[in-house]
């Protein structure tokens, strides 16, 4: 004789506890587990338990769907018109649900004949949600593969590539519409906001096109940057918007303005510090905030400057010291001295590739001379001078493994995965 357990599902009257039906869903022998897989239930048994449980619950719900006694149009008694059976797609399982159809013999009204007609969809929200989330960060083909594994390698029609594409598109459209809604200006504007704008070119599957441009904007208050250790900080609350539309950044500008307003930007009270890599499109997007804030200060963020210097190969001892000196001068707000020092270093370099990199660095800094600041001073005064925290967000999303086989639809949905607005 051994110990067993069973899972029972009872349907009972709420008022008096009277049992209407009682079904045994699973029976398990309780014995000493010999392997880790024998502890509890294996995944196949878990799915089977979910399947049988939902099958019974859905069977009980069926008669309550479409339940009519009187015609909703004329108020007279309706007659039954047979039954219909429809599919319902749950998170990991498929189900059939049967319900009654009705007809009014007086005005010819008929009840809905499908789950989709009644609820607008036959797919549970939990499944749609995970399709949208996975579809925003993986290729659609990869999402199909992941969902197939979650369903015990069963190929479910509801998890096909075209449906996932439709879900991501629909969710992205809703997010975009929300991001473009112009909110009322806050009566209690925040004094300071930091806005970081960045862009990346992402590989695409579109024929005849190698990549498309995607832009992100991150908005947060200075006080929301919190230290997590001696060297690193984290943004506790932020708003992120993104766009991949080829419309001269118009959608990106509108979304950034709207998000900044929701974060508390006002004409009367708010100074905005805009950080970017100095690209023309990024500066243009930041400039769109000017009419809606008290002051906009645009800064070439130190993160990108530092990366530009870091990408220069190690030079000979003396030239390396002069390069470090140029960087030091730039850090302390001595832009022209930095340019002079870099010019001297360039004349001393014989390697053609290294010389070209140095020339590109100098050209980059000169093109952005108007947004160079005294970074040392800003750091000492605890003012924003680098976008490295926000940059990590963009870099993580647009990192090489995720760039492959991505379409603009993914970027439309990107904002949904970020922190909500303030």
Q: Do residues 238 and 220 lie in contact, with contact meaning Cβ atoms separated by under 8 Å?
A: yes
The span from the CA of 127 to the CA of 159, in Å, is 9
Which pLDDT value is given to residue 246?
Answer: 85
Sheet holding 239-243, edge to edge: 239-243, 211-220, 192-203, 271-276, 295-300
Which pLDDT value is given to residue 409?
Answer: 41
Q: Do residues 402 and 376 lie in contact, with contact meaning Cβ atoms separated by under 8 Å?
A: no
Which pLDDT value is given to residue 205?
Answer: 66
Which pLDDT value is given to residue 234?
Answer: 84
Please list, in sequence order, all residues whose beta carbon lies within 8 angstroms of the beta carbon of residue 159, skipping any fewer than 6 positions away: 131, 143, 144, 147, 148, 151
> What are the distances in angstroms from CA 91 to CA 59, 110, 164, 165?
18, 31, 14, 18
pTM of the model: 0.67
Token pair 């504007």 is found at 189
Which pLDDT value is given to residue 405?
Answer: 42
Token pair 């990108």 is found at 304
Query: For the chain, which ranges sit under pLDDT 70?
Result: 1, 185-187, 204-210, 389-422
Residue of 260, 253, 261, 263 whose CA lies nearest to 288? 253
Long-range contacts of 344-347 (CB under 8 A, 24+ apart): 345/315, 345/319
- Strands, E, within 158-247: which ranges? 192-203, 211-220, 225-227, 233-235, 239-243
Please give the structure tokens belonging to residue 402. Answer: 């995720």
The span from the CA of 394 to the CA of 392, in Å, is 6
Residue of 266, 242, 245 whose CA lies nearest to 256? 242
Which pLDDT value is given to residue 219?
Answer: 95
All structural domains of the chain with their residue ranges? 3-119, 125-178, 190-417
Kindly state the DSSP code that residue 264 receives in the 8-state scheme. T
Q: Do residues 204 and 403 lie in contact, with contact meaning Cβ atoms separated by under 8 Å?
A: no
The span from the CA of 112 to the CA of 106, in Å, is 17
Residue of 253, 246, 190 whose CA lies nearest to 422? 190
């Amino acid at each position: 004789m051994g110990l067993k357990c069973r899972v029972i599902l009872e349907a009972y009257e709420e008022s008096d506890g009277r049992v209407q039906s009682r079904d045994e869903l699973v029976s398990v022998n309780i014995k000493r587990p010999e392997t880790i897989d024998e502890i509890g239930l294996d995944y196949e048994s878990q799915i089977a338990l979910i399947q049988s449980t939902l099958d019974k619950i859905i069977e009980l719900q069926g008669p309550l769907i479409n339940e009519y006694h009187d015609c909703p149009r004329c108020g007279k008694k309706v007659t039954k018109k047979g039954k219909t059976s429809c599919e319902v797609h749950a998170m990991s399982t498929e189900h059939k649900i049967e319900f009654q159809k009705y007809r009014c013999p007086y005005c010819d009204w008929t009840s809905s004949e499908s789950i989709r007609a009644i609820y607008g969809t036959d797919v549970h929200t939990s499944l749609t949600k995970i399709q949208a989330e996975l579809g925003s960060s993986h290729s659609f083909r990869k999402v199909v593969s992941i969902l197939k594994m979650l369903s015990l390698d069963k190929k479910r029609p509801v998890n096909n590539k075209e449906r996932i594409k439709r879900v991501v598109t629909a969710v992205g459209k809703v997010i975009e519409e929300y991001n473009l809604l112009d909110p009322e200006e806050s009566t209690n504007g925040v004094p300071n906001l930091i806005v970081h704008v960045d862009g990346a070119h992402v590989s695409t599957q579109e024929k005849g096109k190698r990549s498309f441009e995607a832009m992100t904007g991150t908005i947060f208050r200075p006080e929301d940057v919190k230290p997590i250790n001696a060297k690193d900080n984290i943004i506790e609350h932020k708003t992120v918007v993104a766009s991949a539309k080829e419309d001269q950044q118009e959608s990106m500008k509108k979304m950034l303005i709207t998000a900044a307003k929701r974060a508390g930007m006002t004409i009367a009270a708010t100074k905005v510090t805009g950080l970017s890599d100095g690209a023309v499109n990024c500066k243009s997007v930041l400039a769109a905030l000017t009419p809606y804030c008290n002051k906009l200060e645009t800064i070439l963020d130190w993160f990108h400057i530092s990366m530009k210097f870091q990408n220069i190969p190690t030079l000979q001892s003396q030239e390396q010291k002069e390069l470090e000196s140029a960087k030091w001068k730039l850090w302390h707000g001595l832009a022209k001295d930095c340019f002079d020092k870099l010019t001297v270093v360039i004349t001393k370099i014989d390697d053609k590739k290294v010389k070209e990199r140095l020339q590109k660095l100098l050209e980059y800094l000169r093109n952005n001379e108007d947004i160079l600041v005294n970074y040392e001073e800003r750091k000492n005064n605890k003012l924003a001078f680098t976008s490295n925290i926000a940059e990590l967000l963009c870099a993580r999303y647009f990192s090489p493994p995720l760039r492959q086989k991505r379409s603009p639809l993914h970027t439309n949905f990107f904002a949904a995965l970020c922190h909500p607005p303030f």
